[in-house]
Each structure stands twice: as structure tokens, then as C-alpha cells.
Amino acid sequence: MLATLIYGERDIRVEEVPDPRLSTGADAVVRVVAACVCGSDLWPYRGVVPTEEPHRIGHEFVGIVESVGDDVERIHPGDFVIAPFYVCDGTCVNCRNGVSTSCLQGTFWGVDDKVGGFADGGQGEFIRVPLADGTLFALDGQPDAELIPSLLALSDVMGTGHHAAVSAGVGPGSTVAVVGDGAVGLCAIIAAKRLGATTIIAMSRHADRQALAREFGATEIVEERGDEGVARIKELTGGIGADQVLECVGTKESMDQALRSTRPGGMVGYVGVPNGGPKLPIRPMFGRNVGVNGGVAPVRGYMAELLPDVLSGAINPGLVFDLELPLSEAAEAYAAMDERRATKVLLRP
């Protein structure tokens, strides 16, 4: 089959690799219907995270189950499934606590899992899914083709934006600011509106993303950053800052922006993968009672809640995909996102 590998900085290749095989009894093989490139994939692409040797890449996909191991009970051949960006058993104490990203048996895509062998990346024709019962979320029946992008968004960005909002405690009447206008930030706007926020301030400098932010529910746009950005948000929030700020970037600057834009007693919900490990300055957090909550989003647990709104059309996170390419052009997909010609690229095998 064909799959995407990264060879090094700005070197993405689609190559013939061995077909995946069932090996543990608990796994499944899925034929990928759609996959995509994640903002976090750009880190190795840009060389921020070094690539020691060529390896598979990708971790977001939807598809149709080809075959399942003998021990799989909930997933059946022919099911249309959404995979989260990680593997989980759904039964351990951390999964039961709603933190399936910390599954005691869990792993990630594109690496050897603990017992069964290689789990493939997501950007390929097929994928071996360890712990299929816990990992895969199966739809009832087959979805309409136009829903594929929004279903794919549930594999990461929509659930991640939702996690930011939930972690920050967004609720009816909330005043929310969103730092970051990438796919996750845009999905965080959807999530904030869905949870009842009445003022949603999107921090964005790009006209096309501003337009999508408005479509998703943003009531205000702030283009300023730093001190001026904080001042603008305070102007829009009665002088005190937002109840919740959703940090969807992961840099020192974005976290600083988020902390300073939050009102006393408010909360930062953060899901931006920390780039370079910024440390949080505790003194200003302490003095103003600004909390920080979030992390790597346990999106598997949010699928059942978010799916009905996707199926009904109440939310349409698939609009974050502004470019669609065949899998064979994965290299161009990375380049388009790297050069900001696209927000997020959908790949079709």
C-alpha cells in the first residue's frame, strides 16, 4: 500500500510500504477514507523536532473497517469509523476517568505498539489499529459524503477545541477569547458557542480565518497582539478580561497572551502542544487567581457528544479544511500548510 513518510526537514514522500496485518486478536485493519495533516506534523516538517531516520507520519483519519481480530467485539468489518489521534483501550482507570490520552495500554500512531507490532501512521491507504474496541468510534451506517470532512475533524481538531473549552469551564453566558486561528482555534470557537458562550473574541490577523471565525460564532475579532491585544480584550470585557481564554497555539507568547487576557478568577484552557516547553509564570497567576487547565485532548471520549451535532449540521468543523489533495500529493499538503497557503489539508487515498 501507499503511505506517507517523513525523511527530514521539508522532505515528505509517499511510498509503497507493506500492507498491515492483524496480529493480536484485539486489532483491526481499516481502509482509510480520508486523512489529514496536523499542525503538530509541521514541527518535524520544519525541523523544529529533528527526524533521526525516515518514519511514517500522520495521526488523523476516518475509514471503513476491513477486518478485525478474533477478540474484537464492538467493531465489525464494514463499519465506518473515526479514529482519535491515539490508541486507547477504553477500559483502564484513566480511560474511565475521561483521560483516554493517558490510557495505561495506550500508544500513538506510527510506532510499535506494546504487544502487536507496527500501528502505521494515519496518512496511508490502510492502517492497523491496535485495541480496536477502545480506539475506534463506529457510526451507525454509512455517512453522507459531504459529512466526511466534519467527521474527520472529530479525530483531532474539533475534539481538541472542545477540550480547551471544557477544560476552561466555558458555559452559558461565558465571555471567551480564543488565542490562535488555526484549525484548533477555529474549532474552539465552535465549541465555545456550542457550550453557550455569548461573547466570543477571536484573535486573528488573517481575513479568511476571520471570516470563518465569524461563521463559527465569533462575535468580535482582535488583530492586535501583546500589550495591545490584552488592552483590546479588556476593552471588550468591561475592563477585566475574558472569563475563559482558549490557548490553541502552544508558544510562550501565546500562553502569555492567554494568561494576561483572562480576568481575575478566570481560567485558561490550553491545548496548543507546548513548543519548546514554555514555563508558566506562577506569580501573576497566583495574584489574579487565573488557573490553567487542559492538555493533550482525550478526543475519543468527546465523539459521542459531538457526533449528533455534526450529523444534524448544527456544527460544521469540516470547513477548516480549505484544501483537498490526493494522498499521492501529501508533500504538497505539507508545503501548503507550512507556507500558510492552507489552514488544514484533507488527503484522500
| Per CB under 8 A, 288 contacts a copy of itself | yes
Among 98, 173, 226, 326, binds a copy of itself (CB under 8 A): 98
Among 78, 226, 264, 313, binds a copy of itself (CB under 8 A): 264
| Per CB under 8 A, 48 contacts a copy of itself | no
CA distances from 286 to 182, 262, 264, 283 (A): 30, 13, 10, 5
Amino acid 115 reads V
| Per CB under 8 A, 289 contacts a copy of itself | yes
Which of 127, 46, 54, 23 lies closest to 84 in space, CA to CA? 127
| Per CB under 8 A, 40 contacts a copy of itself | no
Amino acid 202 reads A
Residue 250 CB, shortest distance to a copy of itself, in Å, is 9
| Per CB under 8 A, 277 contacts a copy of itself | yes
CA distances from 262 to 170, 229, 249, 289 (A): 13, 12, 16, 10
| Per CB under 8 A, 97 contacts a copy of itself | yes
Which of the stretches 139-147, 186-194, 227-235, 258-266 binds a copy of itself when contact is defined by CB under 8 A? Answer: 258-266
What residues are paired with 267 via a beta bridge?
A: 244, 291
Phi-psi region of 151 (alpha: psi -120 to 50; beta: other; left: phi over 0): alpha
| Per CB under 8 A, 199 contacts a copy of itself | no
| Per CB under 8 A, 141 contacts a copy of itself | no
| Per CB under 8 A, 290 contacts a copy of itself | yes
What residues are paired with 55 via a beta bridge?
A: 6
| Per CB under 8 A, 280 contacts a copy of itself | yes
Among 11, 295, 322, 325, binds a copy of itself (CB under 8 A): 295
Cβ closest to a copy of itself, residue 260 vs residue 263: 263
Residue 247 CB, shortest distance to a copy of itself, in Å, is 10
Residue 149 CB, shortest distance to a copy of itself, in Å, is 27
| Per CB under 8 A, 115 contacts a copy of itself | no
Phi-psi region of 328 (alpha: psi -120 to 50; beta: other; left: phi over 0): alpha
Q: In terms of DSSP bridges, do strands 175-179 and 242-247 run parallel, antiparallel, or are they unpaired?
A: parallel
Four-CA torsion 148, 345, 46, 251, nearest 10 degrees: -70
> How far apart are alpha carbons 113 and 110 in whole angstroms?
9
Interface ranges with a copy of itself (CB under 8 A) = 93-94, 97-99, 101-102, 167, 238-240, 255, 263-265, 267, 270, 273-274, 277-283, 285-296, 298
